[in-house]
Amino acid sequence: MTQAATASAGWDFYTPQVNADPHPLLASIRNSGRAIWHDTYQSWIVPHYDDIVAICRDEKNFTMKGGIVSHNFGRYSLLAQDGKLHRAIRSVWNAAFLKQALERLVPQIAATSQRLIAPAAERLAAGEEVDMAPVNRALPVEITAILLGVPEEHYASFAGWSDDITHMTGYALPPEHPVEVRRVKAQTEVANLLREEIARRRRHPQDDLIGRMVASGIEDQIGEEGMVDNCRLLLVAGNETTANWFGHTMVLLGRHPAIQREVRADRSLLPGALEEALRYDHVTHFAFRRAQTDDALVGGVPIPNGDQVIMIYGAANRDPDRWDNPDAYDIRRDTEGHVGFGHSFHTCMGKELARLEGKGYFNTLFDLTRHYALGEVDYGISFPLRGPQKLMIRQA
């Protein structure tokens, strides 16, 4: 068996310096071993692509249940379940997220992108610098709310709730910590809204995602609590991750002006530019599992039953054992197999929606603006769900 290493006391993921560019640290972690015990997080850190894929496929020895994920997103959420119950919950919405079903949203995505980007484009044309981070956030918030069937007057609250629920995700904070207080408040406010909407669907059925969950009968297995957990998860998963993906892509195209010009001139390159951005700069760095047998192994390292494992997807997507020249942003790369949308049983259900949103959003951006250059970019400190919190651009 492989000998486990001990993590350095300097492995602090929650700093502005690390969040601005985490990849030197992630490379150092990859070089430290296959499964590395971190005393502060009381978890095994797993940075290698092959090991992460193996864990994702191993429902016998590793489970999603329990731990920080249940705390942040609810014990019945898709992210906190596996096996039969996970598949039962997922089946409620699977059909709605098929690519063919989502095509109906293409005009809505285009029109919403036009409405959101046009004011920023006017300011850019006038010579102003514009912060695109809130603009990037607005499209996935609206599309997710439309799919859920939430009234328009709540759209503005969704972004704030999502921020508060996900800030410093992956870190167990004491109840009195201000971040934890905000998280609990946001979770409660979202839950109250969703309970109202669930009650409304019981009285007046609708063909939206909340309506489908109510009509499915899944409540018999997970209760109203579980329906709230999963609708709340969709709010976060459909908002935070997609907005950060847009931000990473925008930054990369700003840092690679020749590639930006190339993609603007040939829009058939846009899907590759987006997918490679997701590999190159991961959105969801941490993914959690817990060993549930005495036979759990990671790269030959035995993981004691009950111990938590933190898989670092961003390290896997730059693993030189899996990718040629992994630190290059190559929009023609074959990105098949990247873990930007997770892997195996827990592959992101909304990945085709996110791709449609990305294509519509950036096509509109390119239509309405000229070549842009980057100003200040600030990533904050929320490493597990990492993305630009401030993204200034100007017309080049």
**In this model, does residue 227 exceed pLDDT 90?**
yes
CA distance 341 to 348: 5
For the segment 134-165, what is each residue's pLDDT rounded down to a tens digit?
Answer: 999 999 989 999 999 998 888 888 878 877 77
The pLDDT confidence band at residue 356, using thresholds 50, 70 and 90, is very high
Instruction: Say what the pLDDT of residue 221 is.
Output: 95
For the segment 359-373, what is each residue's pLDDT rounded down to a tens digit?
Answer: 999 999 999 999 999
The pLDDT confidence band at residue 292, using thresholds 50, 70 and 90, is very high
The stretch 222-251 carries a mean pLDDT of 92
**Whether 167 contacts 161, CB under 8 Å:** no
3-class SS of residue 174: coil
For the segment 15-60, what is each residue's pLDDT rounded down to a tens digit?
Answer: 889 999 999 999 999 999 999 999 888 899 999 999 999 999 999 9
**In this model, does residue 274 exceed pLDDT 60?**
yes
Instruction: Say what the pLDDT of residue 1 is.
Output: 44
Give pTM, 2 decimals.
0.93
**Strand 5-6 to strand 36-38: parallel, antiparallel, or no bridges (unpaired)?**
parallel
Amino acid in the structure at residue 199? A
**In this model, does residue 229 exceed pLDDT 80?**
yes
Instruction: Say what the pLDDT of residue 93 is.
Output: 94
Closest CA to 36 of 51, 22, 56: 51
Q: How much of the chain, in percent, has pLDDT values that exceed 90?
A: 72
Helical (H) or strand (E) element with 374:
strand 372-378
Chain mean pLDDT for the chain: 91
For the segment 70-100, what is each residue's pLDDT rounded down to a tens digit?
Answer: 877 888 999 889 989 999 999 999 999 998 9
The pLDDT confidence band at residue 187, using thresholds 50, 70 and 90, is confident
- Enter the tokens of residue 35: 């499964």
CA distances from 345 to 21, 85, 221, 298, 387 (A): 30, 12, 20, 18, 25
Show the domain range for 331. 5-395
**Whether 44 contacts 308, CB under 8 Å:** yes
More confident residue, 235 or 255: 255
CB neighbours of residue 39 within 10 Å: 10
**In this model, does residue 3 exceed pLDDT 60?**
no
**Whether 209 contacts 234, CB under 8 Å:** yes
CA 209 to chain centre: 19
Instruction: Say what the pLDDT of residue 376 is.
Output: 97
**In this model, does residue 9 exceed pLDDT 50?**
no
**In this model, does residue 173 exceed pLDDT 80?**
no
CA distance 136 to 110: 14
**Whether 166 contacts 380, CB under 8 Å:** no
CATH code at 61?
Answer: 1.10.630.10
The pLDDT confidence band at residue 5, using thresholds 50, 70 and 90, is low
Overall number of domains in the chain: 1
- Enter the tokens of residue 85: 């119950």
**In this model, does residue 189 exceed pLDDT 50?**
yes
Instruction: Say what the pLDDT of residue 73 is.
Output: 81
In total, the chain counts a number of residues equal to 396
**In this model, does residue 167 exceed pLDDT 70?**
no
